[in-house]
A = this chain, B = another copy of it.
Amino acid sequence: MLVVRRSFAACFSRPTCRFNHSSPHRLLNSVTEYDVAHFAKILPTSSILSTYSPSSTPPEELDQFNSDWMGKYKGHSTTVLKPKTTQQVSEIVKWCNQRRIGIVPQGGNTGLVGGSVPVTDEVILSLANMNAVRSFDPVSGILVADAGCILQSLTDYVAPHNHIMPIDLGAKGSCHIGGNVATNAGGLRLLRYGSLHGTVLGLEVVLPDGTILDQLTTLRKDNTGYDLKQLFIGAEGTLGVVTGVSILTPPAPQASNNVILALPSFDNIRPLYEIVKRQLSEILSAFEFIDRTAYDLAVKHGQGRALSDDDVAGAECFVLVETSGGRREHDEEKLADLLESLLEADKRLINTGVLSQSPAQFSSLWALREGVTEAISKEGKAYKYDISVPLSTFKMVVDGTREHLRSKGLIGDKAVKHVIGYGHVGDGNLHLNVVADSYTPEIQNALEPYIYEVVASHRGSISAEHGIGSMKTHALHYSKSEASIALMKKIKELFDPRGIMNPGKVLEY
C-alpha cells in the first residue's frame, strides 16, 4: 500500500489542527477527516471506528475505548483503528508520525494507571484483531503469538501440550499478551517463573517511524549485542507498538496444592517465609499475604467459606501458600510435613492451617485472595497503590496510612471506609488499597504524595506491577534517580523524536 507523504507544514492550514494544551513541549495534531480517509486505504471500513466519515460512528460507541474499566480515566479520541497485520500497524504509525498524530496502543484495556486511554484525542490503535498464534514448539515450549492474543486463550492453546503460560493474573480473560509485555505484567506466577524480562525471548515491534523491528527470535540464548527488546518490556507503548511476542512457556505442573495459614502476628511472616521456602523449595509457587481487613471484606462479599470462625479467631493476617509440582504424592507429602512441623513447633508461628483436599477447596482458598479485588469494588471506590517495600514494613505502611487518614479526619462512612493490604510476599509487593465512599480531592491529596514519600523512604517502588501510565508520571522521581529519568528521556527522544507514541504516559511531557 502506498503511503502518500505530505509535508507537516500543510497541516496548519486545516482548521482542526490544534495546539495540545496539556503538552506544552509537543505539537500533536488531532485526527481529521482527511486522516480517516487515508486510514480507509490501509484498513477495511469494518476495522475503523471514527466519528468522521466514511466511518461516521456514533461517539458513544467509542466510549469503551476512551475510558478504562474503573471509569477513572477518560479520553476524547475520535478514532479507533483495528489493524489485522503488522504491515498495517506500520503504515498507520508511519502516517501518524508524518502527521504528528498521537497514538495510544490499546490491548485489553485492563490497566490500572490510565496507560491505555488517551490523554486527549490521540488515535487509539487497538490490537484486538491481531489475535493469531504464529507458532508453538511443544518440545522447547516456545510460543510465538500476535500481540492481541488474550492471555487466557494462550493458556488454553498450550494446555493440551502440557505447558502453561509463565504469567497469570486476574484480568487473564481480557488482557492481551502484548499489553502484558508492554506493562511488564507480574501477577501470580512471578515467584515461580520470574518476570517477563526473563521469559520473553523475542518481540516484533513497530517503531514510531513505522519501521518494523523484527526481533521475534525463538532462541533461548542469543548474545549478539544489546538486548533491545528489553526496552519495550514495561515501556507502556511509549517507544513503539508491540505486535508479536515470542515467549517461553514452562511445562505444566502435574499437581497443584494450597494451604491457608492464619497468623497471630504479622511479625511471624518473615520467619514463616524462610521455613516455607526451605521446606517446599522448588515446588513453592505462591506465598500471598492477606491482612485481616482484606480477609473480612472477602468473606463479607461471599468468599472464603473455607475457614470457620474458630479457625480465624485471633488471626492478625493470613498467608496463602501454593505448590506446583511434577508428582502429586511428593508434593502432598512435602506440604503435609510442613504443616505438621509448623503446628508442632515449640514457637508456634501459625494458629491454624487449612489444607485443600479437593479441586473445589483449592479454588475456594484462592478465592479468598483473588476475591479481595471484587470485594473492594463492591464496598466503594478504591485508591489502589501497588508498591514494593521491604516485607518487614508491610503492616507498618498499611497502619501508617490509616492513621494518617484518621489524623486528617478522613476515616468514616462518608469518607475512607477501609485501608487494607494484601500482596505477593515473595516479590516484596504490597497492594495497598484505600476504599472510600467516592473519589474526592481531599482523600487524593491526603494520600499523595504521602504514600510515595513513605515508599521513597524505604527505597521502594511506587509501582511494583501496575506501571506509571498517566497516573504517576509526576511521581516518577520518588523511585527513579535524576540520572535515570534523564536517560529515560534521552531514550524516548531517540526512539520517538516527534513524541507520538502514547504521549503523556510514563514520562511527563
A-side residues, CB < 8 A to B, are: 138-140, 162, 183-184, 186, 190, 194-195, 197-199, 207, 211-215, 217-228, 230-231, 233-235, 239, 251, 253-254, 270, 273-274, 277-283, 324-327, 330, 333-334, 388, 391, 424, 426-429, 459-468, 472, 476, 479-481, 483-485, 487-488, 490-491, 494, 506-507
Decide if A214 touches B388 in the complex (CB within 8 Å).
Answer: no
Decide if B224 touches A479 in the complex (CB within 8 Å).
Answer: yes
Closest 8 CB pairs of A and B: A198-B198, A281-B326, A230-B230, A222-B461, A221-B464, A194-B198, A219-B388, A224-B479
Selected contact of A224 from candidates B274, B279, B461, CB within 8 Å: B461
A-B contact pairs, 7 of them (CB 8 A): A139-B391, A219-B464, A222-B479, A223-B467, A225-B506, A228-B487, A281-B326
Complexed CA–CA distance, A190 and B220 (Å): 9
Decide if A214 touches B138 in the complex (CB within 8 Å).
Answer: no
Complexed CA–CA distance, A254 and B274 (Å): 15
Name the CB-closest residue of B to A490: B494
Selected contact of A220 from candidates B280, B283, B427, B480, CB within 8 Å: B427
Complexed CA–CA distance, A391 and B487 (Å): 40
How many copies of this chain does the complex contain? 2
Complexed CA–CA distance, A253 and B224 (Å): 32
Complexed CA–CA distance, A384 and B51 (Å): 61
Residues of B within 8 A of A463 (CB): 222-224
* A140-B391 contact in complex given A186-B221, A479-B222, A483-B211, C-beta closer than 8 Å: yes
Decide if A326 touches B231 in the complex (CB within 8 Å).
Answer: no
Complexed CA–CA distance, A318 and B254 (Å): 28
Residues of B within 8 A of A183 (CB): 223
Selected contact of A225 from candidates B253, B324, B468, CB within 8 Å: B468
Complexed CA–CA distance, A282 and B250 (Å): 9
Complexed CA–CA distance, A484 and B225 (Å): 9
Complexed CA–CA distance, A304 and B54 (Å): 75
Q: How far is the CB of A55 from chain B (nearest CB, A)?
A: 32
Residues of B within 8 A of A251 (CB): 277-278, 281
Residues of B within 8 A of A427 (CB): 220-221
Decide if B480 touches A224 in the complex (CB within 8 Å).
Answer: yes
Q: How far is the CB of A387 from chain B (nearest CB, A)?
A: 9
Residues of B within 8 A of A223 (CB): 183-184, 186, 234, 461, 463-468
Residues of B within 8 A of A235 (CB): 225-226
Decide if A221 touches B429 in the complex (CB within 8 Å).
Answer: yes
Residues of B within 8 A of A253 (CB): 281-282
Decide if B197 touches A281 in the complex (CB within 8 Å).
Answer: no
Complexed CA–CA distance, A460 and B223 (Å): 11
Residues of B within 8 A of A207 (CB): 483, 487
Decide if B282 touches A326 in the complex (CB within 8 Å).
Answer: yes
Name the CB-closest residue of B to A285: B282
Name the CB-closest residue of B to A162: B278
Selected contact of A199 from candidates B194, B476, B484, CB within 8 Å: B194
Complexed CA–CA distance, A466 and B224 (Å): 9
Q: How far is the CB of A384 from chain B (nearest CB, A)?
A: 14
Residues of B within 8 A of A219 (CB): 388, 428, 460-461, 464
